[in-house]
Amino acid sequence: MNEIAVRVAKKTREAQDINAYELVAVDGESLPAFDAGSHIDVFLPNGLVRQYSLCGGPPQQGRYRIAVLRDPKTRGGSQAVHDMVHEGDTLRISMPRNLFALSDGMHASVLLAGGIGVTPLLAMAYHLHARGRPFELHYFARSRERVAFLSELLTGAFADQVVLHLDDESPAGSQPVRELVASLQASRPDAHVYSCGPAGFLQHVSDTLAAVSWPAGQTHSETFTASEPVTGDSFELRIASTGETVVVGPNETVVAAAARLGFDIPVSCEQGICGTCVTRVLEGVPDHHDQYFSDAEHAANDQFTPCCSRAKSRLLVLDL
């Protein structure tokens, strides 16, 4: 994996529990260009590796900007960033990768941000604005204090295309996602909808779009929070090179089971996003729980993400 050494040039408080970090290359060169929707792996001082979307616009040319919500419910990555990463520090990051790319064309793009999920959508908004493509950015948050990049959004170049939906300023019983989707259906049925946020928010958006049969090809989403660990029935795992087998318990991952046989599968996100752990499957049918592979790649069943995916068959033989 190509890694880049960066320095934290700027750390700013962007909203309640949200900090933004501007990263520059330690060698003074511009950082590689990235497509809107991209994310990077950040190698944290405590050994964790976490993925953060790049959310910079033209003012951050040649730099990367990420924003991080301190979330005590997660596995320690966000707290490490808030507590251990300071201006002037150096970090290692990966090259940008994009699993949430914008679709080409002059159709309308409707960007739905749930909380800190605004980060990739902000980069998309800058991209769409620069190309004169029609779009709206809808930001859903509990209160104004929790809206990251508030003044940038409300006074910036595309301020008139930003709509805030704040729980504490909305009339009781309002259903903003439902109303928005109904209006899209009536006025812009060719629009592409991009959503990013916590799993519950994405589910709500997905259910609302499904209720009006919104075309799957015009729906794009990315989550960022660790989902609940995937559990399921036990199954047998065989290592092809040695023939050794081990039972993967209902609450353990394939990575953990393989480690008991001395096979350390490299991991990063541990939630099926980054692809670091991808392993070839020689026999058996994986039960895919990742967001890394396409539907066609899932259907091929010849590789899987052992950090979170399991088996539909009683035996899985891995090319290890």
CB of 294 to ligand FES, least distance (A): 14
Place of tokens 């290692």: 92
CB contact set of 175 (below 8 Å; sequence gap of 6+): none
How far is Cα 247 from Cα 228, in angstroms, rounded to an integer? 21
How far is Cα 287 from Cα 317, in angstroms, rounded to an integer? 13
CA 317 remoteness from chain centre: 30
> Among all residues, whose Cβ is closest to ligand FES?
307
How far is Cα 62 from Cα 31, in angstroms, rounded to an integer? 5
Q: Which is nearer to ligand FES, 141 or 269 (CB)?
A: 269
Tally helices (H) and strands (E) across the chain: 7, 19
CB of 99 to ligand FES, least distance (A): 10
**Which pair of structure tokens corresponds to residue 299?**
């259907």
Q: Which residues bind ligand FES (CB under 6 A)?
A: 267-270, 272-277, 290, 292, 305, 307
CB of 38 to ligand FES, least distance (A): 16
Q: Which is nearer to ligand FES, 221 or 309 (CB)?
A: 309
CB neighbour burial string for 184-207, b if at least 16 within 10 angstroms, e if fewer: beeebeebbbbbbbbeebbebbee
CB 147 within 8 A of CB 153: yes
CB of 238 to ligand FES, least distance (A): 20
CB of 258 to ligand FES, least distance (A): 12
Q: Which is nearer to ligand FES, 1 or 106 (CB)?
A: 1
CB of 209 to ligand FES, least distance (A): 26
Q: Which is nearer to ligand FES, 198 or 272 (CB)?
A: 272
Q: Which is nearer to ligand FES, 17 or 290 (CB)?
A: 290
